[in-house]
Structure 1
């Protein structure tokens, strides 16, 4: 399962967010933890896709780079931990670097639950700067 996650993250890291949406179950629950403009607790592929659109709109050119993946469990209940670097240049030319952790539950290769935690102080400052 690690190889599937790595392959998907390579696509997502190149800006192909639809690769993550395609891996999601129709009723996926996605949470992006924190009280920022990107904070979310949504259900379903359409809402998941809409979050990526919001991410791209607010932080164009910022990309998610896979650092490491740990996967364990049976095909019907696989737990995946992912470490990501969040890197890019903000609209004002400021470099943006952050770290995010993701906790995913897969059932038969479909993402049913996805929780992402990023340093919200850095993220909020970047988002506030991107509004200018």
Structure 2
């Protein structure tokens, strides 16, 4: 029963946070004061940080990099008990970039929850696809305002 409740809450959270509106506040509200967040990779969104404020800042950066990102769950696995719960989410990422092209990616989130608070969150995404999308976004945005883009961001 506990696992079904957690799955339902995770799905509800992702419906809000992943609808493309940039409303990440419910995810940040779940973060424990000592949250450890990692977005694996050296690309534009790569991060290893601690705490809800830094977590919120990361979401702000993600929303600036690729506005309107939509995230949908394809699977949720829950194991453990309220004092030590692992939640693994498989997700699909989509966005329409500034040049009109479609960004599509997939990712995995592994979170650890203790007594309803997220204490650890690790996200793995195809960072090459993400980097290429960000570069297309930068080029299209710069072209829209008449600025030449050179090199990598």
Specify if TM > 0.5: yes
Identify the residue that residue 9 of structure 1 maps to in structure 2: 14
RMSD, matched Cα? 0.8
SS where residue 43 of structure 2 aligns?
A: coil
Give how far 1:21 is off. 0.4
Unmatched tracts of structure 2, length 5 or more: 1-5, 140-153
The TM-score with structure 2 as length reference comes to: 0.84
Equivalent positions of 1:98-109 (< 5 A) are: 98-109=105-116
Partner Cα separation in structure 2 for residue 52 and residue 67 of structure 1: 21
1:60 aligned partner: 67
Instruction: Specify the SS of the correspondent of 1:9.
Output: helix
Q: Which moved more, 1:99-108 or 1:11-20?
A: 11-20
Q: Is the 8 A contact 1:21 1:49 kept in 2?
A: yes
Answer 1 or 2: higher relative contact order, Cα 8 Å, separation at least 6. 1
Q: Does 1:73 align with 2:80?
A: yes
* Structure in which a larger fraction of residues adopt strand: 1
Larger radius of gyration: 2
Give the match for residue 113 of structure 1. Answer: 120
Unmatched segments (≥5 aa) in structure 1: none
Distance 1:101 1:79 in 2: 13
Given the alignment, which residue of 28, 32, 47 partners 1:25? Answer: 32
Distance between the aligned counterparts of 1:22 and 1:37, measured in 2? 24
> How does the TM-score come out when normalised to structure 1?
0.96
Asked if the contact 2:18–2:69 (Cα under 8 Å) also holds between the matched residues in 1, the reply is: no
Aligned length: 132
SS in 2 for 1:7: helix
Q: 1:51 aligns with which of 21, 44, 58?
A: 58
